[in-house]
Structure formats: structure tokens, C-alpha cells
Structure 1
Amino acid sequence: MDGAVAVLTLQAAPYNLLDHAMCEEIVAALDWAREQGARAVVLRSALRHFSAGADLDGMLEAVERTGGAIDWQLTEVLEAFNSFPAPIVASVHGVCVGGGFELVLASDISVVAASAKLGSVEVTVGLHPLMGGIQRLVQRAGEARGKEMAMLGRRYDAATLERWGVINKVVADEHLAAATMTLAQELAHGPTLCHAATKKLAAITVSDGVAAADAAMADVQAAIFQSADFRTGVTSYREKGLGQARFEGR
């Protein structure tokens, strides 16, 4: 923990390859962050690269053992990201491809080093993205770009993906850690219940459309109106002006 920010660090040398154990660890780490009362999460790598994707040997063994399926809790990882009640920020450097790239796509906000290379490269081994990558690329960059990225299996520079709306922010390599933590701390000091409601409405919009999100607003927003942070924000605005509130996340 860094204050109210939970910092989750991938460090499965040499390439942070995803497998059943890694997926379990990611879900467990988010459970831990929730138990700590984290008001924001940073997902980063301690190695030279963010992640080179899946453990292909382990995947092939799993397929051969089960006769065609893998039980790596991939959907459980996505659900853990989606349901986490605070923003998750991916901090990306080096190579970030395959399943590693899908972790970034599952995060709420991404901060990426300028020299990083990212992409859905699964097609090069006869696969396509298995952890929600296709639908999230189509959602963010449009059908044409999503198909391009999944079908061609290329690595893209960070500036291109920022321009396409796939990632949020590109920073100089030497500023990655500082820029990520500045953003995470800003989120962590915000109205946490409000951020959770934002995540819920965004998810409903993506899965069911704007009309469904409109219909869900009253229920989702009830927690905001009942929060201490809302009262704090209004009081602070009256007494000190806009942007001076000190939220406690409750």
C-alpha cells in the first residue's frame, strides 16, 4: 500500500507469463486490495517488460489434458477487474502483448511509457485474444481497428494506440512511475463511491446500451447521494470554492 493506493507488481521472471497460477494470484491480489480498503490500484511490472502474454507450453499441456479447454480463470480475472470498487490504473513499459495487453484493456485507465510496444499477437501462434481483448479493442477503437489488431498480430507504438483511444496516456519512459502514482493518488483521494458508480454505469452502457444505463442510474447513484463524501463536497464548495474538498472515500 502507498497511502490509499494498492500497488500490485507483476514479477514472475522472466516475462510475466500468464497461466492458471498467475491468474489466481491476480484475483487474490485484487481481493487483498479490497480488504485493505484501497481507493485506487496500480498494476505494474518489476521486470524489464510488462508481460509477454500467456505461457504457451502450459496452455498446450492444459488443452491436451482436458481435450480442448483451459481452466485458467480468465473470465474470473475480468470479473475481478470489473467489480473492483475503485479505479485500476495499468502502468506499462517494455513489451506488453497477448494476455498482458488484455490486462491493460481490462483496467480502467492506462499510463504507458513512450517506448512501450503493445499488441494482440495471439494470431501468430494460431489463437486470438482469449481474455476479452477483441471486444474491448472493438469497443475502444472501432470494429475495423479491432479486427486489424487481432487479425494481423502486430505490435503498436504507444502514441498510435493513444491516438486510437485504446490507451489513455503516454509519458516519457523516465516519468512513468511518477506519472502513474500521481494519477492513482488523485483517484484515491477522490469520492470513491462515486468512482465505483461510474464504473458500474460504464459497464452497463458497454454491455447493454445507453438506455439500460439510463434505467439503472437511480439505483446506481443512490450510494452517491447517501455518501459522506457528497456532503463533504457540497460543504467544501460553499465554504472554499470548487476543487478544495478532502474526500474520505465513504
Structure 2
Amino acid sequence: MSEGIVQKEIVGRVTVLTMNHRPYNLVGPTMYRALLGEFDEAVKQGSRAILLRSGLRHFSAGAEVSLFPDRIAREGKSLIDPLEVLNAFETCPIPIVVAVNGTCLGGGFEVVLACDYSVVAESAKIGSVEVALGLHPLLGGIQRQVMRVGPARAKELAMLGRRYDAATLERWGMINLVVPDDKLDEVSMSVAQELAAGPTVAHTATKRLVRVAINEGLQAADEAMFELQKPIWASADLKRGLEAFDKNGPGTAVFEGN
């Protein structure tokens, strides 16, 4: 595993990125730039999924608040463009699975919301706590919470600043899956490997179509389908899938990601 605040390990077709920014995996320009660089590298190296996790006791205690005075002086302008960060997560052509342990607050929670699939340890505590500083979520958290759980819950999360247990957020539809603490690594890797074994071209198109639907609406997504699906029809994996279905039935294809 490589060294640094984000450590990298390649396990088969999965790039595992382990945040190790002591003491609390605080997110900010340093963490974001490290992650975004590793996303690009994972794609270039041919990985077909990314697993994002923490190597510390907690996933992330939030943002680097020591940088906020500088942001105030800049009239709210960030040291890194939040749109650049969100776009990097959401336009990454391979699925991003996130494994959440311990405490996951503020900016750490927003990182989770930007990923494609979340596996959360049952003891984890998660929340948008920025209100305690006189803020609200700064990296797209509010609008992504609205999309997942509706405006009433999103306002509750941002305005009350409470910490929630994983089971509650799973019940609301905020996260994908809650697992026992001792199964977090196993299950999150299993999900990442399952996605990595799938038809990567189709997964890329799925991510793009979801983004259109969220940002532009249902009609725009319907109108975008034809163009976004063109790479699927041209993919070798589709041919493999159809041939395997014809010969051996559904679920027998071995995809290669192209």
C-alpha cells in the first residue's frame, strides 16, 4: 500500500483508497486534491471500481476549520472549487463505493453523499453538524440530502445538527447498507468487487444518466438516453453478455470492462 494521507492499494480490479490524514481525516483542499488525483490514476490504470475507506478510528470528523478564517477573508470563496470536487466524484466513469466507520460528520458526510454506494458500520454516527459553527453544509450536502430523503429531512439534518445512527439513515434511504462493524471491510470490498466485475461501459452510462435526471429532470434524461446508451451498444461486454445468455442463460457472462 502506498504512503501518504491517501494510501492506495490495488486489489484485482478495485483501487482501494484509504484516508489516513491524522488525526481525524479532516477534509479540505489537501484531502480533496489527493483523492481527485487518485481517481484519475485509478481510471488510467484500468481499475473498474474504487473503494474509499478510512484507516483511522473514524471516517472523518469534518472539515479543516482552521482554514475558515481565510475563506471568510475571501468572502466565502473556497481554496478549492466545490464544483470541481463534486464533478470529480460524480463524473468518475467507474463506481465509487464508500465504507464508513466511527464518526462521519460535516464534510466527511458530504464525501459519502458524493459516492455511488455506501456501506456503513452499525455503530457509526453520522451528521451534518456545521450549524454549531454558524454554517450549513458547504459541499453540496443539503441538495444531495434533498434528493435522497426530501426537503423536510434535509432541513432537519442541516438545521438541528444532530448525529444519527446508521440504521436510521438506512431506513430513510440516505445510505445503502448497514453491516456489523466487523463485517465492514469484507462487505464493502465484496460490493466493490461485484461492481468491478460488471459491464463498466454500462455502469458509466448509468452514472451519467442518473446525473442528468437529478440535475435536469426526467424529460431531459429521457431525451439523453439514446446518446448516453451508444457506447453500450458498441461495447464488447454487451456482445459477451448476449453470447453468454444465449449459450448458458442469465448471469453467466464474464465482463472485461470494455
Q: Same fold (TM over 0.5)?
A: yes
Given that residues 27 and 76 in structure 1 are in contact (C-alpha distance below 8 angstroms), is that contact kept between their aligned partners in structure 2?
no
Q: Which residue of 2 aligns with 1:43?
A: 52
Distance 1:69 1:79 in 2: 18
Task: Kindly indicate whether residue 218 of structure 2 is the aligned counterpart of residue 200 of structure 1.
Answer: no
Task: Kindly indicate whether residue 25 of structure 2 is the aligned counterpart of residue 16 of structure 1.
Answer: yes
Shift of 1:54: 0.5
Q: Which residue of 2 aligns with 1:115?
A: 123
The residue type equivalent to 1:214 in the other structure is D
Decide which of 163, 182, 195 is 1:187's aligned counterpart. 195
Question: Residues 163-207 of structure 1, C-alpha deviation per residue, up to 9 Å, x if partnerless?
Answer: 000000000000000000001000000000000000011000001
Decide which of 138, 142, 145 is 2:146's aligned counterpart. 138
The TM-score, its normalising length taken from structure 2, stands at 0.95
SS at match of 2:191: helix
Q: Which residue of 2 aligns with 1:168?
A: 176
The residue type equivalent to 1:49 in the other structure is H
Shift of 1:67: 4.4
Shift of 1:27: 1.1
Q: Which residue of 2 aligns with 1:84?
A: 92
Distance 2:121 2:64 in 1: 24
Given that residues 26 and 77 in structure 1 are in contact (C-alpha distance below 8 angstroms), is that contact kept between their aligned partners in structure 2?
no
The residue type equivalent to 1:11 in the other structure is N
Question: Residues 35-75 of structure 1, C-alpha deviation per residue, up to 9 Å, x if partnerless?
Answer: 111111011000000001101112223433x3442222322
Decide which of 93, 97, 107 is 2:105's aligned counterpart. 97
The residue type equivalent to 1:20 in the other structure is P
Question: Residues 223-245 of structure 1, C-alpha deviation per residue, up to 9 Å, x if partnerless?
Answer: 00100000000000111111010
Q: Which residue of 2 aligns with 1:243?
A: 251
Deviates more, 1:21-30 or 1:147-156: 21-30
Task: Kindly indicate whether residue 239 of structure 2 is the aligned counterpart of residue 231 of structure 1.
Answer: yes
RMSD: 0.9
SS at match of 1:13: coil
Distance 2:54 2:172 in 1: 24
The residue type equivalent to 2:21 in the other structure is A
Distance 2:185 2:14 in 1: 13
Given that residues 9 and 45 in structure 1 are in contact (C-alpha distance below 8 angstroms), is that contact kept between their aligned partners in structure 2?
yes
Task: Kindly indicate whether residue 228 of structure 2 is the aligned counterpart of residue 211 of structure 1.
Answer: no
Question: How many aligned positions are there?
Answer: 249
Given that residues 24 and 73 in structure 1 are in contact (C-alpha distance below 8 angstroms), is that contact kept between their aligned partners in structure 2?
no
Distance 2:243 2:77 in 1: 55
Distance 2:35 2:72 in 1: 22
Q: Which residue of 2 aligns with 1:4?
A: 13
SS at match of 1:221: helix
Distance 1:170 1:25 in 2: 27
Given that residues 114 and 158 in structure 1 are in contact (C-alpha distance below 8 angstroms), is that contact kept between their aligned partners in structure 2?
yes
Q: Which residue of 1 aligns with 2:6?
A: none
Distance 1:20 1:243 in 2: 42
The TM-score, its normalising length taken from structure 1, stands at 0.97
Structure 1 moving runs of 4+ over 3 Å: none
Task: Mark the runs of 5 or more structure 1 residues left unpaired by the alignment.
Answer: none
Shift of 1:77: 1.1
Distance 1:68 1:207 in 2: 24
Distance 1:10 1:76 in 2: 19
Task: Kindly indicate whether residue 72 of structure 2 is the aligned counterpart of residue 63 of structure 1.
Answer: yes
